[in-house]
Structure 1
Amino acid sequence: MSASRNTLVLYTGGTIGMQQSAEGLMPASGFASRLRDQQDKHPELAAPEWQFRELLPPIDSANMNQTHWLAMVEAIRAGVEQDGCDAVLVLHGTDTLAYSAAALSFLLLGFEVPVVLTGAMLPAGAADSDAWDNLFGAMQALHAGVEPGVHLYFAGKLMHGARVSKLGTASLDAFGVLPRLRQGQCAPSIPAALDYRQPRQQVNLAVLPLYPGIQAAQLQALLSSGVQGVLIECYGSGTGPADDTELLQALQDAHQRGIVLAAISQCPQGHVEFGIYAAGSKLEASGLMSGGGMTREAALGKLFALLGAGLSQTEVEHWFALDLCGERVD
């Protein structure tokens, strides 16, 4: 862990740089000059030298998708490998900030440079905005030294990129790491197929929460849509309507067709442990693999990284069960 002396600032858009328009707040370019002006006004702020890259067009993070994640990886690599940066700060909207932090955690496995994401609940320049506090707080953390890996900085906290979630909208302290049980086996090493240098392709993924009254026909429609992986949000410790034989058969048939099925808990502080209840054991027997205590953001990002690397169903299930960057094991 060493102090950054040349940080890449990668601006993707989001509230932090938005400006008012006739239709409301919208993403805007030109954030580099605003950052430089703010730094000139406050020379007491200890921050590394920085270079600026911008993903164009800047977006509202509600529009974030896999294409943007892959573009971020490309820009991050270029800033480090071509421009000589030794740390990366990603400016990002808050709606999908935790999703991007998780995805980058798995897309940048083996990357020996710290990557910190931050954003703001209020635009830079707005009254009582948290924008500059978050931005310069993240830069000061990098200047002091941050371990390699992906992190999220918000409201004075530096958090693990694959564990954090957005918890609310009414407070500037909007992000946190919920106490979810994390235990299991760590991967002995990162396989070459998952190294950050390996190309990735887009993946057709879906998330489905279970709920009272869910019908097998609804599940079958999703599983017949060309989806490659489904993240199922189960009740409690990994249960669901196990007395619905048609629903269980739909899961089993999909798994036999090669669709990856993963399970996490709907509970904010929950984790999947299929063997506790017979209902959970039946889901597991139908082809679901346990996500343990992973968040939705982490499990979705991990599925994307594994399937996007072209791994087979068996290979995905093997690596999904192991901890790759701290997402499953404390």
Structure 2
Amino acid sequence: MTNVVPVTGPVLILYTGGTLGMELGANGWAPAVGFEQRIQQAQTTWPQAQSLPAWRYATIDPPIDSANMTQQLWLSMRDVIVQAAEQGCSGVVVLHGTDTLAYSAAALSFLLGGLGVPVVLTGSMRPAVQPDTDAWANVFGALSAITSCAAGVFVYFHQRLLRGTQVSKWHSEADDAFRAVRHDGAETITGHVPLALNFQVQRQPVSLAVVPFYPGFQANALQSIVDTGVQGLILECYGTGTGPTEDAELLAVLHRAIARGVAVVGISQCPVGSVLPGQYAAGSLLVQAGMLPSGSMTREAALAKLFALLGAGITAQKLPDYWLTDFCGELA
């Protein structure tokens, strides 16, 4: 990789919870505190321990199962990471549950634009307390990887380093649980960072909804979501960006939502490929109704980008100026 950020200060390990730090309780596995001591103990027997960078530790209190991740926690993580960089940390390793790790990696990619340090998220498929855990290979692998990372946000998992805006969880059980499903890998992106995506910009949580099309989808289902006051809609379209556009009421709902200032974008349900709405009439009609196509963006990247832009005050009317510009690898 190019543009490697030299390690001149300690790396921050930010523990948010997740499987790797869980203990078995009365209701099943749940996140536990005290993970710093476990890392220190495990490092004493790790074969490549001497090559790991110095680190210090912080935690989100209380640690969570990542199924409970929220936009507000993304903003809190952003604050901790920015503070660490300002205090001289050369990078940050975020320990995170796997269920929403890809969402958080995408969100931090857009929240930390221009920060200038590498951030690597990792987790595990089995708790660190289990003899066959994959936790330590991922934790110490991430610590090692950060010494040769460019600035930006990445996911390290099962010996793979993937760009944070290109990754999805593809398997619920395998150790190799994450893939860059629409991209080739963690290439360096040198895109311009607009003011709206600069790490210094303060953001607010945004009401968003992801709506998949399916045979039998009804317009009143979409209308009920719009009526909640949602600020942004991500339509999961078929193939290259098609939907049930013979339903005139569905198109009418989209027209009314967009007239009210709701941002509407479209992604593909397919794990590989891009939204090419001009290819079929059923896609062109969605664009004519006001849906913005999202190219090759994953669900995670589209949700995170919409959150970051709307949360920074970009209006639905201004969104087209930003949406199909590649800022941090989301369209690469």
Q: Equivalent residues in 2 for 1:9-48 (5 A)?
A: 9-42=13-46, 44-45=48-49, 46-48=51-53
Q: What is the SS of the residue equivalent to 1:169? A: coil
Percent of aligned positions that are identical: 50
CA distance in 2, matches of 1:27, 1:7: 23
Partner residue, 1:55? 60
Give deviations 1:155-193, integer Å, cap 9, x for gaps: 0000010000000122111001113599xxx99732223
Residue pair 1:7, 1:51 contacting (<8 A) in 2 also: yes
Structure 2 counterpart of 1:65, from 65, 70, 82: 70
Distance, in Å, in 1 between the alignment partners of 2:56 and 2:191 is 35
Q: Does 1:105 align with 2:109?
A: yes
Q: Aligned-residue CA RMSD in angstroms?
A: 1.6
TM-score of the two chains, using structure 1 as the length reference: 0.95
Aligned counterparts of 1:107 and 1:181: Cα–Cα separation in 2: 23
Q: Which residue of structure 2 lines up, in the alignment, with residue 195 of structure 1?
A: 198
Q: Please list every run of 5 or more consecutive structure 1 residues that lacks an aligned counterpart in the other structure.
A: none
Q: Distance in 2 between matches of 1:180 and 1:28?
A: 35
- Kept after mapping to 2: 8 A contact 1:9/1:88: yes
Distance in 1 of aligned mates of 2:330 and 2:129? 35
User: In the alignment, is the contact (CA less than 8 A) between 2:207 and 2:230 conserved in 1?
Assistant: yes
Are the aligned partners of 1:7 and 1:50 in contact in 2 as well (CA < 8 Å)? yes
Aligned length: 324
Report the Cα distance in structure 2 between the residues aligned to 1:251 and 1:180, rounded to whole angstroms. 30
Tell whether the 8 Å contact from 1:181 to 1:293 is kept in structure 2 after alignment: no
Superposed counterparts of 1:241-320, under 5 Å? 241-320=244-323
| Letter of the structure 1 residue corresponding to residue 100 of structure 2 | T
Contact 2:193 2:327 in 1 (8 A): yes
Change (3 A) 1:166 1:138: same
Quote the Cα distance in structure 2 between the aligned partners of 1:308 and 1:19: 35
Does the CA contact (< 8 Å) of 2:5 and 2:151 recur in 1? no
- Work out which of the residue numbers 313, 321, 325 in structure 2 matches 1:322: 325
Give 1:77's aligned residue. Answer: 82
Q: CA deviation at 1:266?
A: 0.4
SS in 2 for 1:93: coil
Tell me if structure 1 keeps the 8 A contact 2:102–2:167. yes
- Does the aligned pair in 2 maintain the 1:180–1:294 contact within 8 Å? no
- Partner Cα distance (2:193, 2:146) in 1: 25
Q: Secondary structure at the match of 1:313?
A: coil
Dislocated runs of 4+, deviation >4 Å: none
- Contact 1:3–1:142 (Cα < 8 Å) also in 2: no
Does the CA-based 8 Å contact 1:181-1:270 persist in structure 2? no
Could you tell me which amino acid in structure 2 is paired with residue 49 of structure 1? A
* Residue type at the aligned position of 1:42: W
Q: Deviation at 1:196? A: 0.5
2:146 is equivalent to residue 125 of structure 1: no
User: 1:53-108, CA deviations, whole angstroms, 9 ceiling, x for partnerless residues?
Assistant: 001000000000101100000010111213x2111000000000000000101111
Q: Is 2:137 aligned against 1:142?
A: no
**Per-residue CA distance 1:172-220 (angstroms, 9 max, x = gap):** 11001113599xxx99732223211110100000000001111111111
Q: CA deviation at 1:127?
A: 2.3
Q: Look up the equivalent residue of 2:104 and give its one-letter code.
A: S
1:151-230 equivalence runs, <5 A: 151-179=154-182, 189-230=192-233
Residues 267 and 293, structure 2, Cα contact 8 Å, conserved in 1: yes
Find the residue that maps to 2:273 and give its secondary structure.
coil
- Note the alpha carbon deviations across 1:23-46, whole angstroms, 9 max, x for none: 111101100011111112336422
Contact 1:187 1:323 in 2 (8 A): no
Please list every run of 5 or more consecutive structure 2 residues that lacks an aligned counterpart in the other structure: none
- Native 8 Å contact 2:23 2:129 kept in 1: no
Which TM-score applies when normalising by structure 2?
Answer: 0.94
**2:7 matched to 1:7?**
no
Measured after TM superposition, the shift of residue 273 of structure 1 is 0.5
